[in-house]
Homo-oligomer: A and B are copies of this chain.
Amino acid sequence: METETGTNWLTDEEQRAWRAHLDVSRLLMHQLERDLQPFGLTNNDYEILVNLSESEDHRMRMSDLAAATLQSKSRLSHQITRMENAGLVRRENCESDRRGLYAVLTDRGWETMREVAPHHVASVRQHFIDLLGASGIDALYGSLAPVAEHLRTRRKIG
């Protein structure tokens, strides 16, 4: 058995898979952003609307929302301020924990969500889902789910 001397570089197959993932994630975010622009929303706006829409009473604690959308508290705080100014969301105090705040969907926010969601789904289909095919979908999930798991736990520690 030889002693390992150098770096374990990526093989060609690994390279191209890696680049494909990289390229897709960037190009896709860009495309989705473009498709949301006519509605005056960013991807981040939209994701927050989704999270709140799917939550009990259309509200979420700031911390939980930050965790769910994988962004820092700081970034979320700014983001919510902007969305508050846009009338999509409001902050509300939390009674059980006087430090805490809820981000709450406004009627306007909910209406916006109902209007935009179909377009966004269509966009996700057109540029991603429908290009994969049923087998591609399963393959993708099977491959990525463990990676996501690894990274999520790593995040808590980090």
Contacts and interface: CB of A to CB of B under 8 A. Distances in A.
A21 interface: yes
Contact of A14 (B137, B143, B151): B137
Contact of A27 (B16, B127, B136, B148): B148
Nearest to A136: B143
A73 interface: no
Copies of this chain, complex-wide, total 2
Contacts of A129: 10, 14, 17-18
B121 A147 contact: no
Interface in A110-158: 117-118, 121-122, 124-125, 127-129, 131-132, 134, 136-148, 150-152, 154-155, 158
A16 B117 contact: no
A7 interface: yes
Interface residues of A, number: 54
A140 B7 contact: no
A151 B18 contact: no
A68 to B, nearest CB: 10
Given A122-B7, A122-B8, A13 B141 contact: yes
A34 B158 contact: yes
Q: 9 shortest A-B CB distances, which residue pairs? A: A25-B25, A27-B151, A7-B118, A139-B139, A20-B144, A136-B143, A17-B141, A17-B137, A23-B148
